[in-house]
């Protein structure tokens, strides 16, 4: 079995199972009616937090691949990114269906009046664009360079998501701050790799 076969038939199915486990656990809690005293708020936060966690995993793929030398790890980045969008999509869908009962006027007013929702919607729009442009056919259509530029927006989406998480919690709480710190570390690592690459290119040009 080749390395490509292992990734396709062994490793990726394992990633699928692992990333679907939070939904399976939520279903278990729902069936057993163990969703705390406020089930609606619990589900809302649960889906949103898992969306952020998996988005952070996606952002960590490139630094880990660079440090470890396991370049094949990059092939999992699209999959984890789509799962991040999946959980955020469920998070937003629950808000539209349960909190607002498809009252689009109320949703619009929320977006306009509540800044943390405005930021959350902006992050969601970015994730929609990234998910929509993830298929290989779109990559070919846009071209590799343009596609990479579009997908650099994931860093903006991450910053908006972290800000949304902090603001939606009442007062400064440890959990969203920890996620924000993790994001800063990931962005710092990505910036470090980028500057190192640019330095090598400049040295090569100057020779």
User: What pLDDT, on a 0 to 100 scale, did the predictor assign at position 6?
Assistant: 86
Question: In the block, which residue shows the tokens 């997908």?
Answer: 151
Question: What's residue 59's pLDDT?
Answer: 95
- Cβ 86 vs Cβ 80: under 8 Å: no
Instruction: Answer yes or no: is pLDDT of 206 > 70.
Output: no
Give the rounded percent of residues in the chain with a pLDDT score beyond 90: 71
Q: What is the pLDDT of residue 203?
A: 66
Average pLDDT over residues 135-150: 90
Per-residue confidence (pLDDT) for residue 204, from 0 to 100: 62
Average pLDDT (201-207) is 65
Alpha-carbon gap, residue 8 to 12, rounded angstroms: 6
Indicate the length of the chain as a whole number: 207
CB atoms within 10 A of CB 76: 17
Residues 15-42: what's their mean pLDDT?
92
pLDDT digits (tens, 9 = 90+) for 102-113: 999 999 999 999
Mean pLDDT (the chain, rounded)? 91
- Across 75-98, average pLDDT: 96
Two structure tokens written together for 154: 């994931």
- Contact at 8 Å (CB) between 76 and 61? yes
Helix 39-68, helix 77-94: angle, nearest 10? 170
Rg value, the chain, Cα: 19
pLDDT value of residue 121? 97
Structure confidence at residue 205 (pLDDT):
65
- Looking at residues 110-133, what average pLDDT do you find? 96
Tens of pLDDT, residue by residue over 148-201, are: 899 999 999 999 999 999 998 877 789 999 999 999 999 998 888 878 877 776
Highest mean pLDDT among 126-135, 142-151, 188-197: 126-135
Where are the domains positioned within the chain?
A: 35-206
């Amino acid at each position: 079995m080749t390395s490509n076969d292992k990734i396709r038939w062994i490793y990726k199915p394992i990633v699928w199972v692992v990333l679907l486990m939070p939904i399976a656990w939520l279903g278990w809690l729902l069936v057993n009616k163990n969703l705390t005293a406020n089930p609606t708020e619990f589900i809302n936060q649960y889906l949103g937090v898992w969306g952020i966690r998996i988005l952070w995993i996606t952002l960590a793929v490139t630094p880990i691949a660079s440090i470890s030398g396991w370049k094949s790890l990059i092939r999992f980045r699209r999959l984890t990114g789509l799962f991040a969008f999946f959980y955020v999509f469920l998070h937003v869908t629950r808000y539209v269906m349960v909190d607002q009962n498809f009252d689009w006027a109320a949703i619009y007013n929320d977006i306009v009046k509540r800044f943390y929702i405005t930021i959350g919607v902006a992050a969601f729009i970015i994730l929609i664009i990234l998910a929509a442009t993830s298929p290989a056919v779109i990559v070919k259509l846009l071209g590799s360079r343009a596609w990479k530029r579009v997908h650099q927006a994931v860093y903006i989406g991450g910053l908006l998501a972290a800000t949304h998480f902090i603001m939606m919690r009442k007062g400064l709480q440890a959990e969203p701050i920890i996620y924000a710190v993790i994001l800063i570390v990931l962005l710092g690592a990505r910036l470090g790799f980028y500057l190192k690459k640019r330095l090598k290119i400049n040295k090569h040009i100057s020779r």
